A and B are shown apart, each in its own frame.
Chain A
Amino acid sequence: MGLLDRLDDPYEGGGIILGKVEDLLNWGRSKSDWYLHFGLACCAIEFMAMNASHFDFMRFGTIPRTSPRQADFIMVTGTVTFKMADRIKILYEQMAEPKYVISVGSCSNCGGPYWEHGYHVLKGVDRIIPVDVYIPGCPPRPEAFEEGMMLLQKKISHQAIFNKRKRLESEV
């Protein structure tokens, strides 16, 4: 982050911290993600282990929300059937920007075991909503959930908030 390093000796600088507001905001954003848990199948059972005290998902600053309006990211854990796909799309559209998606498990990444004969399974949730982090596995271990969460935090903390368009133009 850089921001916290400068706090090592706050007195040397006369209590002044130099940093970008953007970094501060992103730091806050990435460390307090509230999520909408869309548990669909066995991966959601693994996610229960992740939420329980052994792995303690909440130490990442995440809080489960039951409303998409309060959520920063949606966690799609499990087999996305076509019946559910419509609903996921609606919930995703109801979330406020900025919003992120974590796709958990082979099923929601690419159809998983149902890739060939699953007439009822959407072959990857990325066909209906943009996915930021894919967590592979069937089901992924809780450690993989942790890594996925850290990847999302990393992504959020490097995002531009101000002058997005200007920056994009200079990058092109």
Chain B
Amino acid sequence: MLPNEIYDTLKTEFGDAVIEYNDQQPTDSFILIGADNLFDICHTLRDKDAFLFDYLMCLTAMDLGENVGVVYHLYSMTHKHRLVLKVTAPKTDPKIPSVEMIWRTADWHEREAFDLIGVNFEGHRNLIRILCPYDWEGHALRKDYVAPEYYHNMKVSY
């Protein structure tokens, strides 16, 4: 299936939860969905016979200024089609449902996104830092991040 066909199917099933289909970008066309229904939509995408997206190729997060965004790249081994999903949440309260229960790949990817961008994946069973030390403060890839002066009595700057 092509992304716009997938979009149409999802739209009839989930209505307003599927916000828009965008193919105007130079990148892959993507479907923007609302954070509230993310889990159900992903579940449908994985299990419905027409979709069967059994492979989460990549999950990544971005700092969009006011918002944080998360991008999902899906692939179906059976149908050999792919899809890009995007979801955003306000930076003040960056809550996004976790898809870790749907695709096990998401476990560490979501921990990475949490560690570096600070996205709060709700429902993740072990949302702890993965790259930075556990006692690190802040989320380092945010645009407004300021590195600490000292970490464990070691000077950070050159």
Contacts and interface: CB of A to CB of B under 8 A. Distances in A.
Interface in A1-33: none
Contact of B158 (A85, A123, A128): A123
Contacts of A122: 154
* A: interface residue count bin: 10 to 19
Interface string B71-93: 00000000000000000000000
Given A119-B140, A120-B140, A86 B152 contact: yes
Most chain B C-beta atoms within 10 Å of own C-beta, residue among A83, A85, A111: A83
B156 to A, nearest CB: 6
Contacts of A120: 132, 140
Nearest to B151: A82
Given A119-B140, A120-B140, A127 B154 contact: yes
B125 interface: no
Interface string B114-154: 00000000000000000011000000100001011001101
A127 B132 contact: no
Contacts, number: 29
A82 B154 contact: yes
Nearest to A123: B158
Contacts of B145: 119
A11 to B, nearest CB: 60
B48 interface: no
Contacts of B148: 119
The 9 closest A-B pairs by CB, nearest first: A119-B147, A83-B133, A123-B158, A82-B151, A115-B158, A119-B140, A122-B154, A111-B158, A85-B154
Given A111-B158, A127-B155, 4 more contacts: A82-B133, A83-B133, A85-B152, A128-B154
